[in-house]
Amino acid sequence: MKRPFKKEPRTLEEQLARLEQRGLEIPDRQKAMEFLARVQYMRLRPYWHPFEVDPSKHTFRPGTSFNDLVTLYSLDQRLRLLVFEAITHVEVALRSQWAYQLAIAHGPHAYLKTDIHHNQQHHVDNVAHLQEEWRRAWEHDPVLRHFEETYLDEYPPIWLACEVISLGTLSRFFANLKDPVVSHGIASAFGLPHSYLKKVAKHLVVVRNIVAHHGRLWDRKITAFTLMPPRKNPAKLREAMLKTPDQQRIYSTLTVLVYMGEHLGYRGEWYPRLRELLTEFPTSFHLRMGFPRGWEELELWQ
C-alpha cells in the first residue's frame, strides 16, 4: 500500500553521520562532503550495495571505507566513457551504411519509400521523427542549411538525413527495413546477420541512453531489449555470450562491442583500455557484471 512521503532532507554532515552509523569508515570528512556535494547521496547509493553485509539494514562490511565507494564510482564512470566511445563508432557506421546501401539501391530519398518497409504505420512514424530531428538541426549546420536555402524539396537526401538521425530513430528504420539485399549489405559491414544486428541496434539505444544520463552501468540489469546470443553465427560471439550466467548484464553488451570492433576498426586502440579497466574491478565483482569464469580464455576476448 502506498503511503505519503515524509522523509526530510539531510545536510551533507547528516548524510555522512548516517553512513558512519551503518559502519562505513570515513577517513577524510571534508573530501567526503565535497564528493557528496558533487555527486549526490542518491546517485552514490547503489555503489555501496556490494559492500553491505546486511542489505535489509544497509550495514557495511567491517573495514569498508568511503574511498571504496568513490573508487567503484570512478571505475563505472570510466566504463561508461569506454562504452559510449564504442557505441559512437557503431552509430556512425550504421548511419553511413544505412544511407549508402539504401541510396545505391533505391535512390536519394529511399527512406521515404513505404514499399521497402514492413509496417506502413511504423514507417510513417519514423519519417515524422526524422523530419522533426531535421527541423531541430538544419539551422545550426551550414551544410544542412545550404540544402534548405538551395532546394525546393521538402525532404533532404538520405546522405544528409543520416547526419541528424538519432540512434533510436535509426534503429527503428533499420528494424522496419524489408529489402533483404539492403539489410544484408548493411549488416555485412558489422560481421553480423542482419536480423541480429537489428536486435543489437535496439539494445545499444537502451545502453546509450543509460550512459548519456550518467546512469550506473557496471552491474545494472539491462532489461529492455535484452541481448541474447546469435542463433548460430558468428560462432565465437555465440560461444562467448552463451557463457554468461546473466544475459542482462553489461558483459553481453561488451562482448558484442568487442566483436564489432574487429570489423569497424576501433578494437585495436579501444580494447586494451577496456581490458586494463576490467582488471581494476575486483575479481569478485566480475560476476555482478555478467562475466563468466575463465572469460579471458575465450577466443573473442583474446
Instruction: Find the mean pLDDT for residues 75-104.
Output: 98
The SS3 of residue 177 is strand
Tell me the pLDDT tens digit for each residue of 112-155: 999 999 999 999 999 999 999 999 999 999 999 999 999 999 99
Q: What is the mean pLDDT of the chain?
A: 96
Number of neighbours of residue 301 by Cβ within 10 angstroms:
19
User: Per-residue pLDDT for 57 more than 90?
Assistant: no
The C-alpha cell at 144 is 544542412
pLDDT band at 56 (very low <50, low <70, confident <90, very high): confident
User: CA 22, CA 49: separation in Å to the nearest integer?
Assistant: 12
User: CA 164, CA 274: separation in Å to the nearest integer?
Assistant: 29
* Helix or strand holding residue 237 (H, E): helix 235-242
Instruction: Report how far apart, in Å, the C-alpha atoms of 12 and of each of 153, 157, 223, 292 are.
Output: 58, 54, 33, 39
User: CA 265, CA 287: separation in Å to the nearest integer?
Assistant: 29
Taking each continuous run of H as one helix and of E as one strand, the counts in the chain are 13, 2
Specify the pTM. 0.95
How far is CA 152 from its chain centroid? 38
User: CA 302, CA 299: separation in Å to the nearest integer?
Assistant: 5
User: CA 101, CA 184: separation in Å to the nearest integer?
Assistant: 9
pLDDT band at 55 (very low <50, low <70, confident <90, very high): confident
Tell me the pLDDT tens digit for each residue of 156-190: 999 999 999 999 999 999 999 999 999 999 999 99
